[in-house]
C-alpha cells in the first residue's frame, strides 16, 4: 500500500467533517466557543458622556487665565443620576465614570486643583479645553456597530464587550461531544497488579485530556476487547451518542487489529498509511453521520495522530476558522542535531522548545523518540517537523508545532 502524503490525509479527514449545528449559549458558558452569528450593538457604550478622571466638572471657558476659583455646587459619584446644571463660575466635584452634568463641557483632574473653604470652593490651576477628560457616549460602540462577526472564537474580552451592550446569550457552534475508546485485550485500568502480558491503559486518559484541551466535551467510553462484537457494539453506541469518536489501537497490520475491520463494516471507512512518523496508520470513517478516528495504539502515535488529524477536524466542527484548524508551524533553531534518515516520511521529533531572549524558539530533542515512549513525549512541549532527508544540523532552522506553552 502506498503512503498517503500527510497534507492529503489531513485534507481528506477535515473535508469529511462538517460544522455542528449552532445553538444558543449563555454568555457565561461561551468562552472559547465560536460565534455563529453577527451581533450588532443596539445601545451605545459608554451609554452617556462621563468623566474620565476624579476631579471637577467645569465650563472650560471659566478656566481661561487659570488659576481661577469656582464655587463647588455638588458631588457626583459613579452611578449617581446627573445633578443640577453647572452654571458660570461653578464646578461640580465628579468621580471617574459619573455622568457629566448639564452645562459642564470639561473635567479638570483633581491633581490640578486645590479645595478651598471646606470644599465649598475649588481653585483650578490648569486651563482646560472643551471635551477635556470626558468620555463620549458611543465612543467604544455606537448602536449599529458590529460587536462580533460569525466565526469569531470568543475571548474573555469578547464576553465583556457583549455584556457591555446587554447581550446575555448568543448563537455559537457547540462544543463537540467526543467519545474516547481504548481497544486491546492487554489493557488494564486502575492500580490493580498486572497479570503477565497486561499493560495499563494510558491512551484513554491522554486522549480524554487532548479532547478536553481542544475545547470539546470528553466522554469516557472505557475499553473494548480485541473482538469484532465488542468493538462493534462500543463504536456503534458511541457513534449515536457522540458528535465524534476517537479510538486507539487495532488499526495496524496485526491479526487482532480489528478496529479497521469493524469501521469498514459499520460505515464508510478509509484505512490509510500516512507518510508520517510516528502515527503512520489511520482508520478514519463516518458511522451514522459521526466521524470516527481510528488512531494507532502506540501511546506517542495516538497523541501525534490526534494532533494531526482529529484536533483540526474537531476545530472545524466547532466552527473555528480554517487558518486556525492546525497549529501554526513556527520558526525555530535546532540547538542540537535533529537526526533522521530518508524514508519518504515526514518525521515529527519530540522536542523541548524554549523562547530565547530575542523571541526565537530554540529546540532540542527529548531522549526517547520511540513511539512507545510516552514519558519522553510528555516531557516535550513541541514537535519539530522534519521533511524527508537527513535531518537538521545544530544551528539550522527548523519548523515546530508548539503543543503547550507551559
User: Which residue among 50, 83, 248, 381 contacts ligand AMP (CB under 6 A)?
Assistant: 248
- Among candidate residues 365, 368, 346, 362, the one with its CA nearest the CA of residue 396: 362
> In the complex, what is the shortest distance from the CB of residue 140 to Mg ion, in angstroms, rounded to a whole number?
57
Would you say how long the chain is, in residues? 406
* Region of 5-13, 87-95, 199-207, 342-350 interacting with ligand AMP (CB under 6 A): 199-207
Burial grade of 244 (CB within 10 A; 0-12, 13-18, 19 or more): buried
* Region of 9-17, 294-302, 317-325, 398-406 interacting with ligand AMP (CB under 6 A): 294-302
Out of ligand AMP, Mg ion, none, what residue 187 binds, judged by CB under 5 to 8 A for its kind, is ligand AMP
Assigned C-alpha cell, 349: 521529533
The residue among 175 and 204 lying less far from Mg ion, judged by its C-beta, is 204
Q: Which residue is nearest to ligand AMP (CB)?
A: 297
- 168-197 positions binding Mg ion, by CB under 5 A: 184
User: Which residue among 22, 55, 215, 250 contacts ligand AMP (CB under 6 A)?
Assistant: 250
User: Which residue among 37, 145, 186, 264 contacts ligand AMP (CB under 6 A)?
Assistant: 186
Question: Quick check: 247 binds ligand AMP (CB under 6 A)?
Answer: no
> In the complex, what is the shortest distance from the CB of residue 191 to ligand AMP, in angstroms, rounded to a whole number?
15
- List beta partners, residue 178: 218, 244
- 204-223 positions binding ligand AMP, by CB under 6 A: 204
The residue among 249 and 291 lying less far from ligand AMP, judged by its C-beta, is 249
The residue among 249 and 319 lying less far from Mg ion, judged by its C-beta, is 249
- 297-356 positions binding Mg ion, by CB under 5 A: 297
Close Cβ partners of 356 (under 8 Å, ≥ 6 residues apart): 362
* Region of 20-28, 65-73, 250-258, 339-347 interacting with ligand AMP (CB under 6 A): 250-258
Q: Could you tell me how many residues of this chain bind ligand AMP (CB under 6 A)? A: 19
The residue among 194 and 199 lying less far from ligand AMP, judged by its C-beta, is 199
Question: Quick check: 296 binds Mg ion (CB under 5 A)?
Answer: no
Binding site for Mg ion (CB under 5 A): 184, 249-250, 297
Binding site for ligand AMP (CB under 6 A): 182, 184, 186-187, 199, 201-204, 248-250, 252, 254, 257, 296-299
Amino acid at each position: 500500500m502506498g503512503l498517503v502524503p500527510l497534507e492529503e490525509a489531513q485534507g481528506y479527514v477535515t473535508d469529511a467533517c462538517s460544522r455542528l449545528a449552532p445553538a444558543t449559549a449563555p454568555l457565561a458558558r461561551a468562552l472559547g466557543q465560536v460565534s455563529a452569528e453577527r451581533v450588532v450593538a443596539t445601545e451605545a457604550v459608554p451609554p452617556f458622556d462621563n468623566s474620565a478622571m476624579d476631579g471637577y466638572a467645569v465650563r472650560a471657558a471659566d478656566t481661561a487665565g487659570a488659576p481661577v476659583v469656582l464655587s463647588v455646587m455638588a458631588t457626583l459619584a459613579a452611578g449617581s443620576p446627573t445633578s443640577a446644571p453647572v452654571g458660570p463660575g461653578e464646578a461640580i466635584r465628579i468621580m471617574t465614570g459619573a455622568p457629566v452634568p448639564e452645562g459642564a463641557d470639561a473635567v479638570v483632574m483633581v491633581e490640578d486643583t486645590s479645595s478651598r473653604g471646606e470644599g465649598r470652593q475649588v481653585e483650578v490651576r490648569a486651563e482646560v479645553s472643551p471635551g477635556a477628560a470626558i468620555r463620549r457616549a458611543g465612543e467604544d460602540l455606537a448602536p449599529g456597530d458590529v460587536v462580533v462577526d460569525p466565526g469569531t472564537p470568543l475571548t474573555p474580552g469578547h464576553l465583556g464587550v457583549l455584556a457591555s451592550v446587554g447581550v446575555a446569550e448568543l448563537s455559537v457552534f457547540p462544543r463537540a461531544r467526543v467519545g474516547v475508546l481504548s481497544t486491546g485485550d492487554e489493557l488494564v485500568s486502575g492500580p490493580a497488579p498486572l497479570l503477565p502480558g497486561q499493560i495499563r491503559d494510558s491512551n484513554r486518559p491522554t486522549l480524554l485530556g487532548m479532547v478536553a484541551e481542544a475545547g470539546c466535551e470528553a466522554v469516557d467510553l472505557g475499553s473494548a476487547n480485541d473482538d469484532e462484537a465488542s468493538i462493534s457494539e462500543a463504536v456503534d453506541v458511541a457513534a449515536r451518542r457522540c458528535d465524534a469518536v476517537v479510538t486507539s489501537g487495532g488499526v495496524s497490520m496485526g491479526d487482532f487489529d480489528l478496529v479497521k475491520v469493524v469501521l469498514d463494516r459499520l460505515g464508510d471507512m478509509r484505512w490509510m498509511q500516512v507518510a508520517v512518523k510516528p502515527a503512520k496508520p489511520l482508520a478514519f470513517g463516518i458511522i451514522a453521520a459521526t466521524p470516527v478516528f481510528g488512531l494507532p495504539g502506540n501511546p506517542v502515535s495516538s497523541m501525534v495522530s490526534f494532533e494531526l488529524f482529529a484536533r483540526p477536524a474537531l476545530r472545524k466542527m466547532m466552527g473555528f476558522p480554517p487558518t486556525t484548524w492546525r497549529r501554526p508551524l513556527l520558526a525555530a533553531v535546532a540547538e542540537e542535531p535533529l537526526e533522521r534518515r530518508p524514508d519518504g516520511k515526514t518525521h515529527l521529533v519530540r522536542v523541548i522548545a524554549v523562547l530565547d531572549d530575542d523571541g526565537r524558539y530554540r529546540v532540542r530533542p527529548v531522549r526517547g523518540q520511540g513511539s512507545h515512549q510516552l514519558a519522553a513525549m510528555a516531557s516535550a512541549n513541541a514537535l519539530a517537523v522534519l521533511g524527508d532527508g537527513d535531518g537538521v544540523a545544530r544551528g539550522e532552522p527548523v519548523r515546530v508545532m508548539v503543543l503547550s506553552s507551559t
